[in-house]
Amino acid sequence: MTSATEAGGEERVFLELRRKVRELELLSASVEKLLQSLHFTGRLSIVVQNGRVLKSGYEEGYFSRRSHVRLLDPKEDGCGGF
């Protein structure tokens, strides 16, 4: 019966994760405040492995410079090391 209890607990945790993703609750309030104060427009990326953040990065102006010439060096991907 322990495995059924564990499976039920794991399912509840996964459903909570899905809810947070769906409702855009992935960032802490302090990070959201920083993004708002900077008027940041871009893409944030987070890679998670075994429950730990493995890599994170950002690409500024993804939406505004999409059709324009990239301002970054072609060798640089703009994602902070991705």
Domain ranges of the chain: 1-38, 41-82
Residue with tokens 């505004």: 64
Q: How confident is the model at residue 81 (pLDDT cuts 50, 70, 90)?
A: low
Which pTM does this prediction carry? Answer: 0.57
pLDDT tens digits, residue range 19-69? 999 999 999 999 999 999 988 999 999 999 999 999 999 988 756 555 445
Q: How far does Cα 65 stand from its chain's mean position?
A: 20
Residue 45, pLDDT score = 93
DSSP state of 12: H
* 79 or 37, greater pLDDT: 37
Q: What is the residue type of 24?
A: L
